[in-house]
Chain A
Amino acid sequence: ETGVTQTPRHLVMGMTNKKSLKCEQHLGHNAMYWYKQSAKKPLELMFVYNFKEQTENNSVPSRFSPECPNSSHLFLHLHTLQPEDSALYLCASSQEGTTQYFGPGTRLTVL
């Protein structure tokens, strides 16, 4: 596998479920990001991890819980989501700042 991978690619969950999204980067980068992409809206930055430490939490509701066990892996734990949380969730990584490389995303549908 090369680049940034994400699993699962598609996820359908009920409002009471708990699920997790996984991201793995194979680029040797030290920063990882979670974004939310909704139709016709700009990408919204959710969380940033730099050397496994969270450096940004962009006022994200607590029903989204990130985890970064090492610089190659990033998780997004989901619980009691709302239908408006349905979106494409993108993971990205970078080495020292601005050039970010994205994974293919997880298409999340909350029923």
Chain B
Amino acid sequence: QKEVEQDPGPLSVPEGAIVSLNCTYSNSAFQYFMWYRQYSRKGPELLMYTYSSGNKEDGRFTAQVDKSSKYISLFIRDSQPSDSATYLCAMSANDYKLSFGAGTTVTVRA
């Protein structure tokens, strides 16, 4: 079993739709949860950072963490073509070592 599971997609939605992304994990020691966005031919860019369980909102983006279910989500409201990218979940226990999902490729159609 992989430590972090993420559906690779691809996911295609019309402009203005809500994009829903998620990851599951097996290591109950994970406490820090991140979402990165990676555009084609670029490095990953940190989008959201959450500690422990709960919700975090930043503009059109909402990150949710449910540690009891070992499940994290990212929602993008009012999606735009510029949101077309690969989204990577990442998580960590108490140290620097991040475990990544394989990434979900999202296309927002104009």
Known: A40-B8, A42-B4, A43-B88. A100 touches B43 (CB 8 A): no
Q: How far is the CA of A91 from the CA of B75 in the complex (A)?
A: 27
Partner of B96, one of A6, A41, A48: A48
Which residues does chain A contribute within 8 Å of B96, judged by CB atoms?
Answer: 31, 33, 48, 50, 94, 97-98, 100
Q: Which residue of B lies closest to A56 (CB)?
A: B97
Interface size on B, residues (CB 8 A): 25
B92 lies within 8 A of chain A by Cβ: yes
A45 touches B98 (CB 8 A): yes
Of A12-20, A59-67, A70-78, A102-110, which binds chain B?
Answer: A102-110
Partner of A41, one of B98, B99, B102: B102
Count: A-B pairs, CB below 8 Å: 58
Which residues does chain B contribute within 8 Å of A4, judged by CB atoms?
Answer: 43
A90 lies within 8 A of chain B by Cβ: yes
A99 lies within 8 A of chain B by Cβ: yes
Instruction: Decide if the interface of chain A is mainly helix, strand, loop or mixed.
Output: strand
* Contact-residue size bin, chain A (C-beta under 8 Å from the other chain): 20 to 34
Instruction: Provide the B65-78 mask, 1 if CB < 8 A to any CB of A, else 0.
Output: 00000000000000
B88 touches A98 (CB 8 A): no
Known: A43-B100, A99-B34. A104 touches B42 (CB 8 A): yes
B61 lies within 8 A of chain A by Cβ: no
- Distance to closest chain A CB from B41 (angstroms): 8
Which residues does chain B contribute within 8 Å of A102, judged by CB atoms?
Answer: 36, 43-45
Known: A48-B96, A90-B43, A98-B32; 20 extra A-B contacts, CB below 8 A, are A33-B96, A40-B102, A42-B99, A42-B102, A42-B103, A43-B90, A43-B100, A45-B98, A48-B97, A50-B96, A56-B97, A90-B44, A97-B96, A98-B34, A98-B49, A98-B92, A102-B43, A105-B42, A105-B43, A107-B41
